[in-house]
Amino acid sequence: MAQTLPVSPLALPLPPLGVVRGVRLGAVAAGIRYKGRTDLVLAEFAPGTTLAGVFTRTKCPGAPVDWCRAILPGGQARALVVNAGNANVFTGRAGRETCRLTAEAAAQLAGCTPEQVCLASTGVIGEVLPAERITTALPALHDALSDTGWEAAARGIMTTDTFPKAAVRKARIGGVEVVIQGIAKGSGMIAPDMATMLSFIATDAALPAPVLQALLSAGVRTTFNCITVDSDTSTSDMVLLFGTGAAANPPVAETVDALSAPELADFRTALNAVLHDLALMVIRDGEGATKMMSITVTGAVSDESAWRVGMAIGNSPLVKTAIAGEDANWGRIVMAVGKCGEPADRDTLSVSIGGVCIASDGTVREGYDETPVVAHMKGQDIDIAVDLGLGQGSARTWSCDLTHGYIDINGSYRS
């Protein structure tokens, strides 16, 4: 049974969603785990749609992750099937068989090969996912697909999410306007190390699979890979990007340097904005969250080191509970910096909250007045800045507070 959870106080409304030419999608209640809500999503893509993807780095991935990794080198996609409520993880041969049967059923409907069908699952680990519930529901769902089914799809992939997540941008390639639109789900078990729980993005741009892959991999590094709710990496994480080519923009060579080509500059910016929007919505829907943290780290020996420091701050239970309690306990930030194993020097470190420098040069700032910081802590968006004073490395990460709501949700997740 799906949990009835109050909508996150940090929730954002869905933006106005349009059509991505070459994409039809929809959702249905297949009774996989939840009662009285949609839990199965199908998307169909135009022939010639190119594919890119990034996946969890966990050593215990779900069967759908293995399936998508195996078909990714083909660079083509005609369909996507996603279910919520059952992650199809640690299900052995039965899990692999469910993937095969699902892909074959969707391929028959889409008129393609099973190797052009992407699969994703999210939910409880260790329970067999009955293929017949999916394959029985797919034909009627396929008949009802619509190019305006984006909101239904965003809701259909939710588990403990309290609001649907979507983002959209427009860009130009060679003077031709293209659309980028995506959905995501994620609320807990979020420390992606690649993506988030699940995210699916489509564009009508005509771009080769290697170009899409380079753009997606780079974009994920500074968005989905910079968020954390609870330091736990899911077994099911994936982000998939589909390019239908329906916009018929001027051809882009497979060999182009996607990260520097001037003809892709506008598209890169727009794609990164979509990824950024979706990633931050996941943090805003962190299980039990009441506040969002933006953590900026500068002065590190490298960008990678700065990222590790930022994630250590965002993952610290003591920092997170201090934020929840609206306690301007900057000593916990210093603790998190010092414990993470990255180069740091107590005597060059400075810490700011809400734009107010609290400590520097190894001690509290002379004349420090806590009043504006206390006021900042009462807000929903908390800004933390750390300057290590060692080099030019920088990074920005995002996290949320830790409240009793997190325990309530996860203590009864399987009930």
pLDDT band at 411, cuts 50/70/90? confident
At residue 193, the pLDDT reads 65
pLDDT band at 406, cuts 50/70/90? confident
At residue 207, the pLDDT reads 98
The average pLDDT across 336-364 equals 96
d(CA 197, CA 158): 10
- The segment(s) of the chain belonging to CATH 3.60.70.12 are 23-284
Q: Is the pLDDT of residue 86 over 60?
A: yes
Write out pLDDT tens, residues 112-127: 999 999 999 999 999 9
pTM, 2 dp: 0.95
The average pLDDT across 179-197 equals 78
pLDDT band at 288, cuts 50/70/90? confident
The average pLDDT across 236-256 equals 97
CATH topology of domain 292-411: Ubiquitin-like (UB roll) (3.10.20)
pLDDT band at 2, cuts 50/70/90? very low
At residue 31, the pLDDT reads 94
pLDDT band at 412, cuts 50/70/90? low
Q: Is the pLDDT of residue 195 over 80?
A: no
Residue 296 — φ and ψ, nearest 5°?
-110, 125
229: Cβ contacts below 8 Å, ≥ 6 apart: 186, 187, 188, 189, 190, 191, 282, 283, 286, 287, 289, 399, 400
Q: In the predicted model, what is the mean pLDDT of the chain?
A: 94
At residue 407, the pLDDT reads 82
**Single-letter amino acid code for the residue at 296:** T
- The segment(s) of the chain belonging to CATH 3.10.20.340 are 292-411
Residue 196 among the catalytic residues: yes
The average pLDDT across 335-357 equals 97
pLDDT band at 187, cuts 50/70/90? confident
Binding site: what residues are annotated? 159, 185, 196, 287, 410, 415
Binding site for substrate: what residues are annotated? 159, 185, 196, 287, 410, 415
Q: Is the pLDDT of residue 236 over 90?
A: no
d(CA 73, CA 94): 25
Sheet holding 350-353, edge to edge: 363-364, 356-360, 350-353, 381-387, 292-300, 393-400
At residue 192, the pLDDT reads 65
Q: Which residue has the higher pLDDT, 6 or 77?
A: 77
At residue 197, the pLDDT reads 74
Cα 128 versus chain centre, distance: 25
At residue 194, the pLDDT reads 54
Q: Is the pLDDT of residue 208 over 90?
A: yes
Q: Does the domain formed by 23-284 have CATH 3.60.70.12?
A: yes
Weakest-pLDDT range from 7-16, 161-170, 404-413: 404-413
At residue 196, the pLDDT reads 52
pLDDT band at 302, cuts 50/70/90? very high
N- to C-terminal Cα separation, the chain: 7
Q: Is the pLDDT of residue 20 over 50?
A: yes
- Within 10 angstroms of residue 404's Cβ, the number of other Cβ atoms is 9
pLDDT band at 405, cuts 50/70/90? confident
Catalytic residue among 196, 203, 228, 233: 196
